[in-house]
Amino acid sequence: MKAIIPAAGLGIRFLPMTKVQPKEMLPVVDKPTIQYVVEEAIAAGITDIIIVTGAGKRAIEDHFDKSPELESVLKKQGKTKDLKEIRRISNMADIHYIRQKIPRGLGDAIYCARNHIGDEPFAVMLGDTINISKVPIVKQLMRVHEKVEASVLAVEPVAKEKISDYGIIDGSLVRDRLYLINDLVEKPKAQKAPSNIGITGTYVLTPGIFDCIKETSPGTNGEVQLTDALKILRKREKVYGYWFEGTRYDIGDKLGWMKTNFELTLSHPQYSEPMRDFLRKTIENYDEK
């Protein structure tokens, strides 16, 4: 299975951090966000990856490319561990880049990759979503897809005050953790939402979605929304939501990004202890003031 990683958004919620730097390159602990996404795809056995970029996203291509100058400096300085890591990153997968010329939204970004995908099911993994789980979340969706032979979206319950940040499903539970989707709404107001089950940014889709995107008019924020295209798709084919096992880190805004950094630092084998220590002391000192 191939994967599309849409990474063409303007990162408006992160300004000024993302004025020059792509939001997908914002570091989380010790690597850029998008590297977590590529690593999840690889862990799921996906080796053909299409990253949809746009203006100002060159750093993403450079990150996964070879860096001969850096490699030769590291070699000269005997920094073998760093050298190995830098080489590992550039050899990770077969990554192709497609440019979305105008930022017209998530649905349009996926449509840009249609010729590379062809007539087969594919995965979509948002370039700003980090999943940590025993079995990669995209792999969990691939397994469900094999059984139901239909599109499957990763979903989970979201807090009431967060409902308006997500695509929300109206689904019927058909078996443990699996919802048959009756309808979907992009970023509804909490009072009008059909449920609290949110779409978290990992999908396995059938190629039928491309025609649906073509028929989708711009929606929320004037963008062609994938959720609106899925609304059309579910009238033609079954579409499922799967409440995955694992944790999805919400890096959709600045506070989410900061929290993710803390959480993942606190579970990092090297940085966990010193960070706990630092936080404890900082909070004690802060309380005393």
By CB under 6 A, name the binding residues for ligand G1P: 106, 126, 129, 166-167, 186, 198-201, 225-227, 252
Q: 166 in helix, strand or coil?
A: coil
Q: In angstroms, give the least distance from the CB of 184 to ligand G1P.
A: 8
Q: Looking at beta carbons only, is 74 or 108 nearer to ligand G1P?
A: 108
Separation in Å, CA 167 to CA 106, 125, 134, 158: 12, 15, 25, 11
| Residue 33 phi, psi (nearest 5) | -50, -45
Q: Looking at beta carbons only, is 74 or 123 nearer to ligand G1P?
A: 123
Q: Looking at beta carbons only, is 22 or 167 nearer to ligand G1P?
A: 167
Q: Looking at beta carbons only, is 243 or 271 nearer to ligand G1P?
A: 243
Q: Using CB atoms within 10 Å of the CB of residue 94, give its burial: 0 to 12 exposed, 13 to 18 middle, 19+ buried.
A: exposed
Q: In angstroms, give the least distance from the CB of 155 to ligand G1P.
A: 9
Instruction: Please state the separation of Cα 284 from the chain's center in Å.
Output: 36
Which tokens sit at 258?
């900061």
Q: In angstroms, give the least distance from the CB of 275 to ligand G1P.
A: 26
First vs last C-alpha separation in the chain: 56
Give the list of residues 6+ apart from residue 178 with CB closer than 8 angstroms, or none. Answer: 144, 148, 240, 241, 242, 243
Q: In angstroms, give the least distance from the CB of 226 to ligand G1P.
A: 6
**Residue facing ligand G1P at closest CB distance:** 167
Q: Looking at beta carbons only, is 121 or 241 nearer to ligand G1P?
A: 241
Q: In angstroms, give the least distance from the CB of 166 to ligand G1P.
A: 4
